[in-house]
Structure 1
Amino acid sequence: MELRVLRYFLAVAQKRNITKAAQELLISQPTLSKQLADLEAELGVQLFIRGHRQITLTDEGEYLQTQAREIIQLVEQTALNIKGQEVISGKISIGAGESIAMNRIMQILSGIVKDYPDVKVRLISGNADEMETALQHGSIDFAVLMGNRSLNNYHHIQLPEKDQWGLIMRKDDSLANKVEITPEDITGLPLLMSEQAIEEHRFQSWWGNLDRKMNIIGTYSLLFNAQLMVA
C-alpha cells in the first residue's frame, strides 16, 4: 500500500463521495476510482459499499480507516522528528483522559508554545487503554494515564495530583446537599458509570455487598456526554 493511496482512501472515507473527494484531492474521478479499485484488489476485500448518493464503509473499510489514520500520523511525526532544522519546530502529541493533572501539562505546553511558536500541539482524548495502545503504536508521544497500571515498559514520572471520584446529579436533586455520598445513598438510582472503572472493579470495595442493588443503566468513557445524559 502506498501512502498516497492511503491518503486517497481517507479522503473518500471522510467525504463519503468519490466526486467530492476527487475535487479536494485535485485529481480526476476516474483516476481516484481506479486507485480505490486497485487498493481493494490488492487487499482482497471490499472497502466500500457504493450507493446512489453516497458510499459507506464495510467493516474492513472501517478497520483500514482507523489504521490508515495512525499510519499517516506516524509517518508525518517521524518526518518531523528526523528533519534537521535550525528553528525548533514539530508536533507534540499527547493522549490523556479527563484529569485535574492535565492543568499541569497544559501549563508546560503553554510555555513551550510561547518559547517555540513553530511547535504545534496535538491533544487526543480517550481512556487509559486507548492511550496506551496509541503510545505503543507511536501515534502519540506522551500519555497521561490514570489508575494503577504497569509502567515497566515506559519512561515515566508520577504526577502529584490526585483525582477523586464523585457523583454528578441535577442541582435540584436531594443528594446535591450532601457533603459525602455513601453506597446506601445511590442504591436503586439509575447510574451511569465509568466503563473502565466497571471493568477494573474499581468500586467493588466501596459498595461491598450492595453491588446487586446498584442500578447501572449505562457506561461512559469520557465524562462530557455523560453529563448531558444526567441533565
Structure 2
Amino acid sequence: MDTRLLVYYLAIAEEENITKASQILHVTQPTLSRQMMQLEEELGVKLFIRSKHRIILTNEGMLFKQRAEEIISLIEKTKYEIDKKNQISGKIIIGSGEFLTFSYLAKVISKFKEEYPLVNFDIFSGNADSIKNKIENGLIDVGLLLTPIDLEKYNFLEIPSEEIWGVFVSEDSLLIEKNYVTKEDLLYEKIIMPKRMVIQNRITEWFGEDYKNLNIVGTYNLMGNAAVFVQEKLGVAIGLKRNYNYHQVYFLPLYPSITAKTILVWKKNLIISPILDNFLKYIKNTF
C-alpha cells in the first residue's frame, strides 16, 4: 500500500469532506475519490459513508485512521533518526503520566538541552496502558510509569524521587482544615477511585478491613476529569499529588502515608538511535 494513500485518507478524515481535502492536498476531487474507492477495494471494507455535507467514518474507517496515524508517525520518526544518525540532533518522544517526578525529569532534560541544543522533545501525556502500547509500537522512545509494573519487556531506570498519595477535596469540604486525611475520615465520604487495578489494590491494602465500608461513587483514569467531579461536590478523589493546582480543589496527604516510585522504561532488545542512546547515558550519569 502506498503511504501517500494513508496521507490522503487522513486528510479526508480530518476535514470530513473530500472536496476540502482535495484542495488541501492539491489533488483533483475526482482523482481523490477514485483513489479512496481503490483503497476500500484493496482493504475489502467500507471506510466511510458519504452524505450530502460530510463524510462519516465507519467503525473500520476509525480503526484504519488510528493505524494510518501510527504508521505515518513511525515512518517520519524513522526517517528523522536515519537522517540525523551522525549528529546529536533530532527528536525524543517521552510518554508520561501526571507525576511530581516529571519535574525532576524536566530538569534533567533542560540540562541535556544545554549540551545538545539541536535535540527536541515531544511529550505524550496519558495513562500507563496507552504509554506502554505506544512503546510497544515504536511510537514512544521512553515512558515514565508508576510502579508497580511488569518489567519483563523493558529496560528501566528508577527516578530518585517519590510520588505522594492523598485526597483531592473541594474548598467547602469538612476535611479542608486538616493537615492530612486518615482512613477513618474517608469512611464518611463519597470516594472517587483511580481506575487502574494495581493502584486500587494498593489503596485496598491501606484501608484494610475498612475498605468494604467505603462509599465508592466512581472511578477515573485522568485526574483532570476527577477534579471536575470534586468541584461539583460529587465526592473526594484519591490520587497522586500534582505539580499544579486545580481550581477550588485542594490536596491533602494520606496518613499513614502512601508513597510510590516512578521508573523510566524503554523496550528491551531495541536498536536505539544515537540520540536516544546519548540521552539515556546522560540520565544514567545524572542519577
- TM-score in same-fold range (> 0.5): yes
Counterpart residue number, 1:51: 51
- Residues 148, 198 of structure 2: 8 Å contact kept: no
Structure 1 regions of 5+ residues with no counterpart? none
Cα shift at 1:78: 0.7
Query: Which amino acid counterpart does residue 165 of structure 1 have in structure 2?
Result: W
Counterpart residue number, 1:156: 156
Q: Indicate the SS of the match to 1:229.
A: helix
Q: Is 1:224 aligned to 2:224, yes or no?
A: yes
Counterpart residue number, 2:147: 147
Matched residues in 1 for 2:37 and 2:188: separation? 55
Query: Which amino acid counterpart does residue 139 of structure 1 have in structure 2?
Result: L
Matched residues in 1 for 2:23 and 2:186: separation? 55
Counterpart residue number, 1:23: 23
Counterpart residue number, 1:172: 172
- Larger RCO of the pair (alpha carbons < 8 Å, separation 6+): 2
Residues 1-231 of structure 1 aligned to structure 2 (within 5 Å): 1-84=1-84, 88-187=88-187, 189-197=189-197, 201-231=201-231
Residues 89-121 of structure 1 show CA distances to partners (whole Å, capped at 9, x for unaligned) of: 211100011101111221222234444443322
- Residues 187, 214 of structure 1: 8 Å contact kept: yes
Percent identity of paired positions between Structure 1 and Structure 2: 39
Query: Which amino acid counterpart does residue 70 of structure 2 have in structure 1?
Result: E
Q: Indicate the SS of the match to 1:53.
A: coil
Cα shift at 1:188: 5.3
Which has the larger displacement, 53-62 or 138-147?
53-62
Residues 191-212 of structure 1 show CA distances to partners (whole Å, capped at 9, x for unaligned) of: 3221114775232112233334
Q: Closer, same or farther in 2 for the Cα pair 1:65/1:149, shift >3 Å?
A: same
Q: Indicate the SS of the match to 1:110.
A: helix
TM-score (norm 2): 0.74
Higher normalized strand content (fraction of residues)? 2
- Residues 93, 121 of structure 2: 8 Å contact kept: yes
Matched residues in 1 for 2:40 and 2:159: separation? 46
Cα shift at 1:43: 0.8
Cα shift at 1:150: 1.9
Matched residues in 2 for 1:210 and 1:34: separation? 64
Structure 2 regions of 5+ residues with no counterpart? 232-287
Q: Indicate the SS of the match to 1:206.
A: helix
- Residues 127, 196 of structure 1: 8 Å contact kept: no
C-alpha RMSD over aligned residues: 2.0
Cα shift at 1:156: 1.1
Q: Closer, same or farther in 2 for the Cα pair 1:209/1:49, shift >3 Å?
A: farther
- Residues 84, 90 of structure 2: 8 Å contact kept: no
TM-score (norm 1): 0.90
Query: Which amino acid counterpart does residue 96 of structure 1 have in structure 2?
Result: S
Moved over 6 A (4+): none
Q: Closer, same or farther in 2 for the Cα pair 1:210/1:224, shift >3 Å?
A: same
- Residues 188, 213 of structure 1: 8 Å contact kept: no
Residues 58-86 of structure 1 show CA distances to partners (whole Å, capped at 9, x for unaligned) of: 11111112211111111111111111466
Paired residue total? 231
Which has the larger displacement, 186-195 or 25-34?
186-195
Matched residues in 1 for 2:31 and 2:154: separation? 45
Q: Closer, same or farther in 2 for the Cα pair 1:221/1:18, shift >3 Å?
A: same
Cα shift at 1:225: 2.3
Residues 24-62 of structure 1 show CA distances to partners (whole Å, capped at 9, x for unaligned) of: 112111122122111111111111122222222111111
Query: Which amino acid counterpart does residue 135 of structure 1 have in structure 2?
Result: I
